[in-house]
Each structure stands twice: as C-alpha cells, then as structure tokens.
Amino acid sequence: MRVLLTSWGSRGDVEPLAALAVALRGLGAEARVCAPPDEEFAELLARVGVPLVPLGPTVRSVVARPERPTVEDAFRLAARLVAERFETLPAAAEGCDALVATGLMPAGARDVAEKLGIRYVLACFHLLGLPSRQFPPGARPGKPSPEGETDNRVLWQQDAQRVNALYGEALNSHRAAIGLPPVDNVRDHVLTDRPWLAADPVLCPSRGMTDLDVVQTGAWVLPDDRPLPEGLESFLAAGAPPVYVGFGSMASYVPKDIARVAIEAVRAQGRRVVLARGWAGLTPVDDAEDCFVVGEVNQQALFGRVAAVVHHGGAGTTLTAARAGAPQVVVPQIADQPRWAARVAELGIGAAHEGSTPTSDSLSAALAAAMGPETRARAEAVSGEVRADGAAVAARLLLDTAG
C-alpha cells in the first residue's frame, strides 16, 4: 500500500506526518510527504528517511516576517495553496491508494483524491475547526460575525461562509478544469463527515464536543532519540533544573520583548533559563551564565529535565511537556493555543497565562503557580495517562480499511 500525506503549516503540522509515515513503513506500507519546503522540515523528514515533495511557499516566509500577515495576505495565500495542490498532488499521489490531508484548510486535496479515485482522509490535531454546538468557531480572515451573536449554530454557518470566501472561487475553478462539479460548502467538503482527530484523548477529549463523527486515533508522535548538545548537557548538570522558554514559529505574534520578560520572570523564581531561539530569533538580555540558548533541540529528551516549560500552546509542545511530566505555563497567541492553555489549567498540570502579552510580574506569578508541589505531582501523574501510539493506531486503521 502507498499513502500520500500532505500538509501546509508549521512544524506541529508536519512532524506528525513524519510519525505516521514511519508507522506506515513499519507495517510494510510506503508513505511520502507533500509539505512546505522549509529547510527544517526537509531535514526532519530526511532524518527518518521519508521523501519530501515540496508544496507551496515556505511557512517561514509567510509567518516569520516583521509584520503580521494581513487579511489580504490570507486571501492570496488561500488561492495560491489551492492552485499548488491541484498542480502538485496528482503527480505526488501517483500509485497511491490513499491521501491523508492535514494542516491549514487543505482545500484541493480531497478533489485530487476524487479525480484519482483514491481514498481521502482529513486529519486534524485539535477540535478548533470542527463544527460544534458546544463552542464557537475560532477566528478566521473575512467578514466577522455580528457583534452580540451567541448562537453557536449561526456562528458556525457564518464560519462556513468565511471559508467559502477564502477558498470557494479558486477551488471550484480548479474542479471545473478537471471535470468535477462545484461544491457549495468548502469547509464541510474538506472536513468530511468523519474526520480523524490526531490528538491525545486526555489532553483533547472529543466525546460530545463536535457534531461530526470523529475518529480519535491519539496523537502522532515521532520518537526522537537524538542526544542533547554537549553544552546543554553541561548546563543542565551544573545546577538545579532550569525553566525552558520557547515560542516556536510565533515570530510575528509574540511581543518584541518576550525574551527579556521571560528571563526576568524565571530569575525572579530563582531558576536558570533554557531559551529557544525559535522563528522569532529570541536572544538573551545579557551575558549571565544562567541562560543557555538552543536552536532546534530534542524536546522529548529535554523536557523531562526542566522545572517547567513556558510556551505558546502549540499542540506538539503541549503534548511533549505533558508526556514528560513537566509543569507548563502557556502564553497563548493565536488559533488553538487558548484552548490548549485552558486544558492545561483544567487538568492542573500547569498555568494558563491570561492574555498574550505577559509582564515579568504576571509571568513570574504563573510560573510560581505552575512550579508548586501540587502542580508538579499532578503533571507527573497525568504524564502516565498520555499515550504515544496514535501514529501506530492511525497506520493500522489506514491499512485495515484499504480498498
């Protein structure tokens, strides 16, 4: 069996596909990944021997600019990605039996699978985009809902209209070019009635949370056995466990002084700092020896050796910290991140910072709460409940339902 896995999004959207590809290979299937051509994604996939077919622009070129993307940028990107999928996926899916799509609204993927006559699966890593009577939709570029509207059914209908405005014209134009009829609800067409949820059920329970018939496989975790850099090993051994601070790909969203604020907050708690540069290029505020800067690093190996993890609330970082039993402080910026922050607080495994722009005092207070003995004990207990076999579950499901 051959499977094409495709996504356009940050590392948190691409690394799970590498995990699924490895799991499929372990069952004797062949998998290839069609994803953004960012250098770090290519290196990640090469490390596990999975072929990368480039799709669209690099994510870094879109999100790591000094200014945040505008609504006009979002509309241009939506049309470009639809066109890129119709151009790239047919050749990438040649000889494949199934196509699994994830990431930023993969409009075009189901349509290519339909034209090729192969199975299509939509997988997501959180519940944010799945219609629900329990919660409103997340923010999306386009015409906002009327102020004061609280009926979730109405809000989700308006969300579908925004998706149509973003993707509908481009999608139906390309469908017509290959002899397919138009679709009138792009969002529901992409999602299908039975999407897969590649998220841990402890961290992201789905029962009763969406109107769709979700198949929850568990999170797709790529095992990482890389050693930590020698300098980091020496830093960890030189004192009490430090606090990790990192904001991933949130280059244009995090406050400009976030490194200074975070370092001051950690120092106020009497701890040292492991500062991840990330796409924002965070740097230390001075030459003090209590701060160690890392680039791309094995978080699975690191998080079990820190006092706490301060992060933006991406699905992958939240999961890795939870698996490691590390208390978390989540400073959410966009998209699904506020939901992960709320869940971390609800489970008692960390603190959710109120607002996206912390001060040294507010972040220090959140750290104090997260590093308390009760939270540490709870984080360690929950770590034993979080599973790492979701990729294997999904791989078996793909093979069992082939044909």
Number of helices (H) and strands (E) in the chain: give both, helices first: 16, 13
User: Do 216 and 235 share a domain, yes or no?
Assistant: no
Q: Are residues 370 and 316 in the same domain?
A: yes
What's the pLDDT score for residue 68?
A: 82
Distances (CA, A) of 335 to 111, 126, 127, 153, 230: 26, 10, 11, 20, 36
Residues 169 and 292 in one domain: no
Burial 126-144 (b: 16+ CB within 10 A, else e): bbbbbbbeebbbeebbbee
Domain that holds residue 347: 230-383
pLDDT (0 to 100) of residue 401: 81
pLDDT by residue (tens digit) across 362-396?
Answer: 999 999 999 999 999 999 999 999 999 999 999 99
Domain check: are 92 and 121 in the same one?
Answer: yes
214 and 247 together in one domain: no
Quick one: pLDDT at residue 403?
Answer: 53
Number of independent structural domains in the chain: 2
Burial of residue 268 (CB within 10 Å: 0-12, 13-18, 19+) is middle
Question: Is residue 306 located within the same domain as residue 265?
Answer: yes
CA–centroid distance for 229 within its chain:
25
The predicted model gives 352-364 an average pLDDT of 97
pLDDT at 193: 96
User: Do residue 19 and residue 163 come from a single domain?
Assistant: yes
The answer to whether residue 305 scores a pLDDT higher than 80 is yes
Mind listing the pLDDT tens digit for each residue in 171-228? 999 999 999 999 999 999 999 999 999 999 999 999 999 999 999 999 999 999 999 9
Four-point Cα dihedral 84, 85, 90, 93, nearest 10: 120
Per-residue pLDDT tens over the stretch 110-131? 999 999 999 999 999 999 999 9
pLDDT in tens, 30-40: 999 999 999 99
Same domain, 308 and 210: no
The pLDDT, as a whole number, for residue 200 is 98
Q: Are residues 59 and 195 in the same domain?
A: yes
Do 256 and 371 fall into the same domain? yes
- Quote the pLDDT of residue 63: 87
Does 257 have pLDDT greater than 80?
yes
pTM: 0.96
Q: Give yes or no: residues 245 and 126 share one domain.
A: no
pLDDT of residue 19: 98
Domain check: are 393 and 318 in the same one? Answer: no
Residue 65 binned pLDDT confidence (cut-offs 50, 70, 90): confident
The CATH number assigned to the domain holding 266 equals: 3.40.50.2000
